[in-house]
Structure 1
């Protein structure tokens, strides 16, 4: 059982996933700080000190703090959009990297051209054309 676990745990996909989780957690902290410490205070200033977090509703003595929920939803959308932008940038960079440079046509000398013609003729004969 231990050997099976080691094989599973040391597979490339599992290690890649573990690395992604750690990086994702660190990135989540960065984006959360961006939202909490920069974006939302700026939005509050633009809206004249308005804060969604302060929204509450009292019902039969129970205080429902739906503003905190609304703030969490706003945070989610900002974080999701930030992740979307990062992935989009990486995808564009990868596409540019993956595009092969134009290959110049190979210049053949007379002997090579003759060999190519012979190869093509033999291929035609082989296929019965």
Structure 2
């Protein structure tokens, strides 16, 4: 069993997956900052100062100054703003992954095409042409 585990870990796919997870975690931090520090303020600018991160609804009916205050009080809350930010994060990540896959596919397609396509060289008559010529000469 230990040998099987070593073989599994030694496979390249496992290491590729580990690198992907680590890079993905770092990428998530970048996207979270992009959404929280750049996109949300732009949305707030265009919507007249609306800040999604502060949107919440306390299910116990209490009035709380902020989402953090409601959470500290132990109130059950619908964090609507956090959900909207998660949707924005998802859309941004999905778009970036789409662009990444599109670029990789374009690079793969370019690598698969031969750069120097040799011009077609006439090779002479085909086998069928020769057989037709022989048939015609035998008819004569």
Three-state SS of the structure 1 residue aligned to 2:48 is: coil
Structure number with the higher helix fraction is 1
Q: 1:67 to 1:107 in 2, by over 3 A?
A: closer
Q: 1:107 to 1:83 in 2, by over 3 A?
A: closer
Q: 1:98 to 1:27 in 2, by over 3 A?
A: farther
Structure 2 spans left out of the alignment, 5+ residues: 62-74, 128-140
What corresponds to 2:39 in structure 1?
39
Structure 1 spans left out of the alignment, 5+ residues: 121-129
Distance 1:67 1:34 in 2: 16
CA contact (8 A) 2:35 2:88 kept: no
Where do 1:1-129 residues align within 5 Å? Answer: 1-61=1-61, 63-105=77-119
After TM superposition, give the deviation of residue 8 of structure 1 in Å.
0.8
Q: TM-score, normalised by structure 2?
A: 0.65
- Structure with higher RCO (Cα < 8 A, 6+ apart): 2
Q: TM-score, normalised by structure 1?
A: 0.69
Give a deviation string over 1:9-39, Cα, whole Å, max 9, x none: 1011111111211122222222222222212
